[in-house]
Amino acid sequence: MAIVKNFRVGKWLPKDDQVLNNWLKNITKEAETANENRTLLPPVQLFKDLLDAKPHLKKLLEEAFAEVPNTPEYAIDAFGYPAIHNLDQMYKLINLIIQRPPAYYDNGLIGCPINALFNWAMGTKAGEEFFLNAEVNDAFRAILDYWGQYLMSPASACALNTSPTGWLCPSAIEEMNKSAYGTSFTELFQCKSDKVEEKFGFTSWDDFFTRLFNKDVRPIAAPDDSKVIANACESAPYEIATNVKKHAPYWVKGQPYSMADIFDDEELTDQFVGGTIYQAYLSALSYHRWHAPITGTVTKAYIVPGMYYQASYSEGLIAGKDKDPASPDWSEAYLAETSPRAIVVIKADDPDIGLVAVIPIGMGEVSTCQLEVKEGDHVTKGQEIGMFHFGGSTHILVFQPQVEVEFDLHGQKPNLEAVNIPVCSKIATVKKKTTSA
pLDDT tens, residue by residue, 30-43:
888 888 888 999 99
Give the HSE-up count for residue 76: Cα atoms under 13 Å, Cβ half-sphere.
Answer: 13
Q: For the residues 204-213, what does the mean pLDDT come to?
A: 96
Asked if residue 275 has pLDDT above 80, the reply is: yes
Q: For the residues 410-428, what does the mean pLDDT come to?
A: 93
Q: How confident is the model at residue 81 (pLDDT cuts 50, 70, 90)?
A: very low
Q: What does the DSSP assignment read for 200-231?
A: GG--SHHHHHTPPBPTTSSPPS-TT-TTEEEP
Lowest mean pLDDT segment, chosen from 112-126, 191-205, 324-338, 341-355: 324-338
Q: Which of the two residues, 111 and 143, has the higher pLDDT score?
A: 143
Q: Which of 101-105, 215-219, 316-320 has the highest mean pLDDT?
A: 215-219
Query: What's the confidence (pLDDT) of residue 319?
Result: 45
Lowest mean pLDDT segment, chosen from 130-134, 272-276, 391-395: 391-395
Distance CA 263, CA 341 (A): 10
Q: For the residues 420-431, what does the mean pLDDT come to?
A: 97
Distance CA 103, CA 30 (A): 15
Q: What does the DSSP assignment read for 163-187?
A: STTSTTSHHHHHHHHHHTT-S-HHH
Phi, psi of 328 (to 5 degrees): -105, 40
Single-letter code of the amino acid located at 290: W
Asked if residue 85 has pLDDT above 90, the reply is: no
Query: Which region holds residue 349: left if phi is over 0, alpha if psi is between -120 and 50, else beta?
Result: alpha
Asked if residue 267 has pLDDT above 80, the reply is: yes
Query: What's the confidence (pLDDT) of residue 260?
Result: 94
Q: For the residues 281-287, what does the mean pLDDT come to?
A: 86
Distance CA 398, CA 142 (A): 31
Distance CA 353, CA 58 (A): 50
Query: What's the confidence (pLDDT) of residue 79?
Result: 46
Lowest mean pLDDT segment, chosen from 161-165, 215-219, 322-326: 322-326
Query: What's the confidence (pLDDT) of residue 9?
Result: 42
Report how many helices (DSSP H) and strands (DSSP E) the chain contains, helices first. Answer: 13, 13
Asked if residue 6 has pLDDT above 70, the reply is: no
Asked if residue 326 has pLDDT above 60, the reply is: no
Q: For the residues 378-383, what does the mean pLDDT come to?
A: 99
- At residue 339's C-alpha, the angle toward residues 413 and 281, to 5°, is 25
Are the beta carbons of 425 and 408 closer than 8 angstroms?
no
Q: What is the overall mean pLDDT for the chain? A: 84
What is the value of pTM for the model shown?
A: 0.88
Distance CA 395, CA 146 (A): 24
